[in-house]
A and B are shown apart, each in its own frame.
Chain A
């Protein structure tokens, strides 16, 4: 479906995250149009040559129209102001009801907006996961999801409470599920043995991670 063709994407806001996103999309061969309000940044962008640039305020429909939302497949609002991002998404949907809207959030919880836009991304979470991975060993967050559920790869420490048990013997807190078996070839079952030194992939809701760490890492 969408994967197969080159997309036309409007990126609103070209701060670090917006620009980096535009670069990635450009690398993948999609067509990117950036709307940027700050003239200084526009000057820097021109040198980058990743995208067509429209200088101006995207909440102004005159400016937005210049980016061609009628032909665009997706609009991604990447400024760090929620209000701006939301307004631009709504405006774009009015011009082109079929456009996919992706909105950047600056908070963790965004249920209020989820009804009105197609997808919400919270880039800081990915950045924070990367930081925590750099700090902690034995648990690595598997990346590239905007989901709140953490996918963790955990190595069981020798002497951890659950080391050597089978899944049937342990009672994990709610909101967490062991996904992989040893060697990560099969889905975990009740007979899955939790061997010290082995790594397992586990999905955990944010509130349960410390307990998981205590059980798996000791």
Chain B
């Protein structure tokens, strides 16, 4: 086994492409299979993966994507039945391959009998959307195994830390501002805590009060 995985992504739509891009960001090799010529051309511009143009249920196409060497195949088209067919065809050609199929409704969960993992990306997407819609000012992001908490905290108008640069805010030991406003970059010492923006913050429980006081007022 090599340290970088070879992964075939069937379906180059938004979820498929985004997945290939994440994999490429992590240093893995992704090969996308996509039948729509227009989408193929768009993906090629992004240059994140080798693209095979064709029908992902066609064994010849799956072979061209290098199924004999692939560690996993993720069938991510919008059609559940097609995804299952892709996974089964890949298993036929390479019994060792790990299979992941996208489903379009919760009731398709029984497919785990045939594939290694199923996923319902709209649920993950909807959860993010619902969290944004509810727009909590303090939101726990991660269930950690330990006591540490990672939260998304909105800096309140008039809070002691509002408008200050990170370098000028005396955070207690045991607290760490992780991200820039709205989580798009890692915080630097010149990151400014803007009122109304949200920041990823890691906090040990005993200083949580103090941090909330600084950020929420």
Direct contact of A and B (CB under 8 A): yes
Chain A residues within CB distance 8 Å of chain B: 1-3, 7, 9, 16-17, 19-21, 23-25, 28, 30, 74, 76, 78, 80, 100, 102, 104, 106, 108, 114, 118-119, 121, 123-132, 134-136, 139, 142-149, 151, 174-177, 179-181, 183-187, 199, 201, 203-207, 209-211, 213-214, 217-218
Q: 19 A-B pairs, CB-CB below 8 angstroms?
A: A2-B136, A3-B134, A17-B122, A24-B127, A28-B134, A100-B133, A114-B182, A121-B129, A123-B125, A127-B119, A127-B122, A128-B18, A128-B121, A129-B22, A132-B22, A135-B74, A136-B26, A177-B176, A184-B145
CB contact between A184 and one of B25, B98, B146, B183 (< 8 Å): that residue: B146
| Chain A residues, CB < 8 A from B132 | 76, 102, 119, 121, 146
User: Considering only CB atoms, which chain B residue lies closest to A183 in the complex?
Assistant: B146
| Chain B residues, CB < 8 A from A28 | 130, 134
| Chain B residues, CB < 8 A from A7 | 133-134
Q: Are B179 and A132 in contact (CB under 8 A)?
A: no
Interface size bucket, B side? 35 or more
Q: Are B27 and A213 in contact (CB under 8 A)?
A: yes
Q: Are B102 and A151 in contact (CB under 8 A)?
A: no
| Chain B residues, CB < 8 A from A143 | 124, 127-128
| Chain B residues, CB < 8 A from A218 | 3
CB contact between B100 and one of A123, A135, A181, A199 (< 8 Å): that residue: A135
| Chain B residues, CB < 8 A from A186 | 146, 148, 174, 204
| Chain A residues, CB < 8 A from B145 | 183-184, 199
What is the total of A-B residue contacts with beta carbons within 8 Å? 244
Cα A135 to Cα B99 with chains together (Å): 8
Known contacts A24-B126, A136-B26, A147-B200; decide if A203 and B121 are in contact (CB<8 Å): no
Cα A16 to Cα B183 with chains together (Å): 26
Chain B residues within CB distance 8 Å of chain A: 3, 5, 7, 14-15, 18-19, 21-23, 25-28, 71-72, 74, 76, 98, 100, 102, 104, 116-117, 119, 121-137, 141-142, 144-148, 150, 152, 173-176, 178-180, 182-187, 200, 202-204
Q: Are B121 and A130 in contact (CB under 8 A)?
A: yes
Q: Are A127 and B186 in contact (CB under 8 A)?
A: no
Q: Are B152 and A187 in contact (CB under 8 A)?
A: no
Smallest beta-carbon distance A117→chain B, Å: 11
Q: Are B134 and A123 in contact (CB under 8 A)?
A: no
Q: Are B176 and A131 in contact (CB under 8 A)?
A: no
User: Considering only CB atoms, which chain A residue lies closest to B126 in the complex?
Assistant: A20
User: Considering only CB atoms, which chain A residue lies closest to B125 in the complex?
Assistant: A123
CB contact between B129 and one of A30, A104, A174, A210 (< 8 Å): that residue: A104
Q: Are B144 and A180 in contact (CB under 8 A)?
A: yes
Q: Are A149 and B121 in contact (CB under 8 A)?
A: no
7 interchain residue pairs of minimum CB distance:
A123-B125, A147-B183, A127-B121, A210-B27, A184-B146, A20-B126, A128-B18
CB contact between A151 and one of B126, B133, B150, B174 (< 8 Å): that residue: B150
Q: Are A78 and B72 in contact (CB under 8 A)?
A: no
SS class, residues of chain B in contact with chain A = mixed
SS class, residues of chain A in contact with chain B = mixed
Q: Are A102 and B26 in contact (CB under 8 A)?
A: no
Q: Are A213 and B26 in contact (CB under 8 A)?
A: yes
| Chain A residues, CB < 8 A from B204 | 185-187
Q: Are A124 and B134 in contact (CB under 8 A)?
A: no
Cα A124 to Cα B125 with chains together (Å): 6
Q: 7 extra interchain contacts, Cβ-Cβ under 8 A, other than A121-B129, A132-B23, A149-B179?
A: A134-B119, A147-B184, A180-B202, A184-B145, A187-B173, A207-B25, A209-B22
Q: Are A130 and B150 in contact (CB under 8 A)?
A: no
Q: Are A135 and B121 in contact (CB under 8 A)?
A: no
Smallest beta-carbon distance A158→chain B, Å: 13
Q: Are A131 and B119 in contact (CB under 8 A)?
A: yes
User: Considering only CB atoms, which chain A residue lies closest to B9 in the complex?
Assistant: A131
Cα A185 to Cα B203 with chains together (Å): 9
CB contact between A210 and one of B25, B173, B182 (< 8 Å): that residue: B25
Smallest beta-carbon distance B90→chain A, Å: 13
